Homo-oligomer: A and B are copies of this chain.
Amino acid sequence: MTRLPQVVIIGGGFAGLSAARALKNVACEVTIIDRHNHHVFQPLLYQVASAGLSPGDIASPIRWILRKQARLRVLLGTVERIDTAARQVWMDGHDAVSYDYLIVAAGATHSYFGHDEWSAAAPGLKTLDDALEIRGRLLMAFEAAEREHDPARQRRLLTFVIIGGGPTGVEMAGALAEIAGHALRSEFDAIDPASSRILLIEAGPTILPAFPEGLRASAKRALVRLGVEVREGAAVTHVEAGAVALGSERIEAHTILWAAGVAAAPVGRDLGPGLDRAGRVSVDADLSVPGHPGVFVAGDLANFVHQTGKPLPGVAQVAKQQGAHAARNIARLLRGEATRPFRYLDPGNMATIGRGNAIADFGFLRVSGFMGWLLWLFVHILFLIGFRNRLSVLLQWAAAYLTQQRSVRLITRNPGS
């Protein structure tokens, strides 16, 4: 019996999963390693953070997703080091896994641009735990305000700052405005949640820079209508517990969320020297890593320069296509063929701003408002993994749309501690 080639995939996100699936009928043994036991549908993570969905609605165990695939095993563990000379991946607990081919799809984490000390005061949104932490903080702010007697402190408790005007920041701001303005309305005694101040702060000249001007303006109008203060060209110079500084301006806010910067997963450093400033690994046209034979990088960790000359954004579609492409290139090598360069097929770009409003850019078609939202809904339900999840999300969105309620306003754990 000849030993089958060993393919190891680091990461069970969009890139890792799509790589594993693309290897389904290839004569090799696949090991997929992730820090979490579940795959998260990241585009809807903000809905868990804003109490619209449960963690179980947007996440499924990686084992379960891949249960029907033969010659595949799943390991729960943290990869601490890649030894490309010995072709081994080292996990926590001093376990090593050997590979013939490796796909590194370890993704990205928050970047505080050198100010890691801001992270406790302004958590970011990357994992289910992050989402539950943020949900707890948001809901706790209203609860604490209800019990507060001092008007200035009450004001601070009802001020929310979101730093970063990309899709995540915009979606969080919209969802938060709806919680304050609708879902919590008439449930409090000493405060009026609708009087909350919600600021969306973007250092660049505009929010949603990836979208065309018309859609951006439409999104901005929708945010303002919801009561969000949009501050563009406003660079945050300092963050501490309870306050944000924009140069000389100081904003007192109990709740501060970080949706600004992204840094590549630290394991990428073993694939140098070609790392960019965010720590991403520069890859060749076929997604392989120069100087590390047999190693491919896909998803947020890859620094891939697009056919148009621009680097690709860190979105789900890029990750999915790259993961599958890296896997197919490994299959080609196993068959003795040459690898092929990766080409990105851009399916478009979407963001939602509260209930019944979204913008969608498909190049040839640009939609905003209610039609955009229906499209957004359709696409997100379609790509959710698992029939049960889709049905559950659809039902909860329908209920939320009709009642303007948020179904999972649960504070679990001790937020902020």
Chain A interfacial positions (CB closer than 8 Å to B) = 36-38, 54-57, 59, 61, 63-64, 67, 73-77, 91, 93, 95, 128-129, 132, 139-140, 143-144, 146-147, 184, 186-190, 388, 391-392, 395-396, 399, 405, 407-413
Are A186 and B67 touching (Cβ within 8 A)? yes
Main secondary structure of the interface of A (DSSP, over half): mixed
- Closest-CB distance, A38 to chain B (whole angstroms): 5
Are A187 and B67 touching (Cβ within 8 A)? yes
Are A410 and B75 touching (Cβ within 8 A)? no
Residue in B37, B64, B395 whose beta carbon sits within 8 Å of that of A143 in the complex: B37
- Closest-CB distance, A129 to chain B (whole angstroms): 5
- Using A146-B75, A409-B37, A413-B413 as known contacts, say yes or no to A399 and B388 having CB atoms under 8 A apart: yes
- Chain B residues lying within 8 Å of A144, measured Cβ to Cβ, are 76
Are B187 and A412 touching (Cβ within 8 A)? no
Residue in B63, B140, B388 whose beta carbon sits within 8 Å of that of A188 in the complex: B63
State how many copies of this chain the complex holds: 2
- Using A63-B188, A147-B93 as known contacts, say yes or no to A55 and B391 having CB atoms under 8 A apart: no
Are B388 and A132 touching (Cβ within 8 A)? no
- Closest-CB distance, A403 to chain B (whole angstroms): 9
Are A76 and B410 touching (Cβ within 8 A)? no
Beyond known contacts A64-B405, A76-B411: 6 more, CB 8 A cutoff: A55-B408, A74-B187, A75-B146, A76-B143, A93-B147, A388-B407
- Closest-CB distance, A39 to chain B (whole angstroms): 10
- Chain B residues lying within 8 Å of A132, measured Cβ to Cβ, are 412
Are B396 and A395 touching (Cβ within 8 A)? no
- Using A75-B147, A93-B147, A129-B413 as known contacts, say yes or no to A408 and B64 having CB atoms under 8 A apart: no
